[in-house]
Structures are given as structure tokens and as C-alpha cells.
Amino acid sequence: MPGTMTRFFISAATALSLSVSAGALFAAPEGVLRVAVGADPETFDPHFNDLPTGNTVDKLVLEGLFRLDNQNNVLPELAEEWGFSDDGMTFTVKIKPDRVFSNGDPLDAAAVAASFNRLLDPEVGAIYRGLYSSIGEAVATDDTTVEFKMATPNGHILLLLSSTTATIVNTKAIETMGAEYSRMPVGSGPYLVESFVGGERYRLVPNPTYQGDYPATLEAIDFLVVPEDGSRMALMETGEVHIVERVPPEAVETINALPQAEVIQPPSMFSINMELVLRGPLEDPKVREALNLSLDREGMVQGILGGLGTVSVGMVGPGTQDELRRTYDPIPFDPVRAKELIAEAGYQPGQIELTMTCPTGRYIKDVQVCQAVQAQFQAIGVNAKANIVDRGTWSNVAATPPADRTDNMALLGRATAGIDFTLFRLFSTGVSANTTGFSDPKVDELLLAGRSTTDIDKQREIYGEIQDIIWDTQPFVFLWYQKQALGVADSVSGFEVQPNETMNFDQVRLTE
């Protein structure tokens, strides 16, 4: 084994948390938890999933080498020891022995390597492949040892490997099941998917072969797909569900007044923006600046979101490695200057025509937000159209390569734990999650430099410069950081939500 292995050290507080989780082994699963969600995940395949509701299922059904806790700290899951070689070009992980997938297949080093090589295979077309491109190949050297042969250095690899994107899929089952795997994934986590009815519901039940530290505490978790806010809240008011996500502002007081439930507002890192397709008029920085100046963000946050948001002071949301995050003065609401910039760019009122792709039921008041943005663009002489579509259509449009897009922007939220994870996936040239077509040689150079060092001061300087460029260049119309609001029944204990809106059921119990 090249180089020196580095063992992970856990704080006393974290060790206590883990021991509490492990203590659940002594209690049998009990109760059926019912959860109403606003969006139906298109897939549970972590290499293609792009929704927090999908992350929630992946976290329950699959295991990773590492995982994130509710404060985005990295914890080991399947990994026992790990470390870089002296030259930083091989990252070696020893995994726990004798693990199996829920169908009995061995979860050994070969299975781990196969899962990562699938993620990296261009023919598979995983939407996150570019983000993991610093890993050239995964190789199993024995039953419990995996070597990641680095294509380029990456000092942030633990955060990459702790994402639900990097959870271990059973490639043998994928070969047998084909497309069915995306709905009924075979993993090694505490639960497995028992049933799935697209657009309506899906059920998780305990995995009888699970061997880890986070055993199932519930007999089943029933997820009900209810995109319409009022219908979702009605289920909470009548007691038909225990948890309801994305409580709209007008319903917070109603839910809090219920004798059996309350609204919780855990920290959120979601950065909500209009991501621009940088062609035509939007290639002009004056036009992009005008669009940003045209919006009354604070008015929308209060009037539409009911205060469930904080005006953006940078693309990167709070909680995204705050030690490396940089913030700025809020963009002023200045429609007069916006009109001047449109004229300076050479356009007459009404000459610029833009189409916005917006989802329904994905973000807080997303339809109303799109309509308000459309109106404020039109107020500065930009002929804007809000194309409001279902979640599946919206997701497909946003995933289309920028050169093939027929629209001009899409409403999107971003919440990923690492600064490199966030900036690389959105602003590195040619990466699939780069929806804008943004390409800047200096940013590409800085992104590689940020990955090549573990010196926090150097990282602060490098990632700070990248954030400066993004804020000044404005490839997005920056909006706000969305706040989380979920209704939770009093009979539920131990429920937590990560800052990226992934629900955590590790310690959930029902007391009904």
C-alpha cells in the first residue's frame, strides 16, 4: 500500500452521537411514519438523482465510504482507514469486511470500485461525472482495500466521497434490473424500497441484512407525493401524515396552532437563483447587471416568501464551508440604472426577449416567484416569459447542455456541502451541472489550484478569488437563501434535517 494511511479521529461529542445511534440496535423497528413531500424523485440512482427527496432515500437505502452529519462534518461509514500516498496521487481506503447488499451480493472492495468506475464512465453519462473527474479510476487491491488513482490532486476528496452521490450502488444488480434499479435500488443501508408508484407514493422497510451503525427504527416509512401546497398541508391538519415538507408561509401559523404538530425551521444552505444561459443578449455583462438590478429581492422575500428567505450576499449559501465562503453587499434594487444599462448595451425597450423555465412545487412559492421576476424584468423593458412546467420537464430542461437549450434561464437552488463541490460543479468549463455555459480560464485554473492544496489560508485566498469573479461576472440573477420549514407531529422524536434539505431518519421514533 503506497504512502501512509491516516486514521479518522472523532470528537467526544461525535463519538457520543454515534454510540446513541448504535444503541438503537437494541430496539426493534416500530411504527409506520408517513411523510408528505412536494416532489417525486425522478430516480433513486445517486449518479443521476438531483433532488433532496432522492438524497433522503439514497441515504437510507445505500451506504457510502463516508457520510455527513447534520452539521456537514465528515464521518466514516463503510471506511475504516484511509489516506493519501506521499505524492497525493493515490487515495487508499480500507473498508469494513464481510458486508453485503440487501440481495446478498458481497459489498467488498471490488463492488466499491465498480460503483465508482460506473460514476466515472462517460458511456453511463452520470450527471456528476465531471465533478468526480479528479478521480481517474478506482481499483480493488484486495477484498477490503480500494485505491483511488487520482487524475489530478484533490485535497477535498473526503467531502466528495461523503456525498450521497458517492454512495455504493450494486452494479451487478443494475446489469440485471436495468431501468428498474432507479426505482428499486439494491443497497446496503438500513432500509430498502418495498414499493414505488410513480407520482403517488413509495415505501421503505427495514433491510434484514443491514450490518451498520444506523439500524432501522421504523417498521416502514411511507412517502406521499403531494406537489400542491394546500393539499400537503391538509394532510398535516387532519393528522394523516407525521411530517410535511416545505410549509408555505401562509400555513406556518395554521400548523403551529394545531394541537398535535409544529413547524420546525432548521438551518438551510440553499442558494436560489436564476441561472442564465450565456448566449445572445445574456452574453453582455451590462444586460446581466441590468437583470440583477431590476429585482426587489427584499420585497419578494417578505411579500411572497413570508420571510422564509434571506437576500443573497454571494452565490455560495451559508453553511457551505463558511471558513472559505465570501460575502458581499446585497445587490441594490435600481430599475432606473437597469434601464440605462439596457440602453447602453444597444437594446430598445421590448427588444430583448427571454424565456424562464420554472418548476412548480419544487421551491417555496416557486410559481409566484417566477411571475414576480417576469414582471420586474418587463418593468425595465425586457420582454420576459415565465414558462412554468412540471418538475420532470423542468429538471430535463435544466440538465440539457447549454448549447442545446431553447430557453434563456432556469430557477434553480443549490446546496452542496463543500466549497469545491459547489463551485466546481457550477463553474468549471464543460461540467454537466454547469447550466450556464460559463467558461473562464482563470476560474478553471483557480479551481485546480484549490484542489491541489490542503492549506486553509491558500484555499481561502483561491476560493475567495473565484467567488469574487462569479459575483462580479453575474452568470446568475442572484436571489436569496431559502429557509426550511417543515411540519412535524408531536408524536415524532429524533427527526432532523441536513442543511441541504436531506431528511435524516437515523434516530426517528413514533410515540403514538
Q: For the residues of 463-486, what is the DSSP string, one character each?
A: HHHHHHHHHHH-SEEEEEEEPP-E
Dist CA 507 CA 512 (whole Å): 16
| Alpha helix (H) residue ranges in 62-199 | 109-120, 157-162, 171-177
Task: Residue 322: name the closest of 71, 98, 495 by CA.
Answer: 71
Task: Look at residue 390 in the predicted model and tell me its pLDDT.
Answer: 87
Do residues 54 and 41 lie in contact, with contact meaning Cβ atoms separated by under 8 Å? yes
* Long-range contacts of 119-122, Cβ-Cβ distance < 8 Å, separation of 24 or more: 119/47, 119/165, 119/166
DSSP 3-state assignment of 81?
strand
Task: Look at residue 186 in the predicted model and tell me its pLDDT.
Answer: 97
Exposed / middle / buried, residue 478 (Cβ in 10 Å: 0-12, 13-18, 19+) = buried
Task: Look at residue 25 in the predicted model and tell me its pLDDT.
Answer: 44
| Unique residue bearing C-alpha cell 485546480 | 448
Dist CA 316 CA 466 (whole Å): 11
- Inter-helix orientation angle 285-293/335-344, to 10°: 160
Task: Look at residue 243 in the predicted model and tell me its pLDDT.
Answer: 98
Task: For domain 271-482, give its CATH number from 2.40.10.10, 1.10.357.10, 3.10.105.10, 3.30.360.10.
Answer: 3.10.105.10
Measure the CA dihedral 14/17/23/28, to 10°: -130
**Facing residues of 95 across strands?**
79
Dist CA 293 CA 306 (whole Å): 22
Q: What angle do CA 113, 414, 313 make, to 5 degrees?
A: 135
What phi and psi values does residue 352 have, to the nearest 5 degrees?
-85, 125
DSSP 3-state assignment of 18?
helix
Name, in order, each residue with C-beta under 8 angstroms of 339's C-beta and a sequence gap of 6 or more.
Answer: 290, 349, 380, 381
Measure the CA dihedral 466/292/52/427, to 10°: -30
CA distances from residue 92 to 65, 156, 511 in whole angstroms, order as listed: 11, 14, 44
Do residues 90 and 149 lie in contact, with contact meaning Cβ atoms separated by under 8 Å? yes
Domain range summary for the chain, segments of one domain joined by +: 271-482
CB atoms inside a 10 Å sphere around CB 266 = 17
Concatenated DSSP letters of 310-379: EE-SSSSPTTS-TTT----PPPP--HHHHHHHHHHTT--TT--EEEEEEESSSSTTHHHHHHHHHHHHHH
Task: Look at residue 1 in the predicted model and tell me its pLDDT.
Answer: 36
Residues of the chain with pLDDT under 70: 1-26
Name, in order, each residue with C-beta under 8 angstroms of 340's C-beta and a sequence gap of 6 or more.
Answer: none
Dist CA 270 CA 52 (whole Å): 11
Task: Look at residue 160 in the predicted model and tell me its pLDDT.
Answer: 92
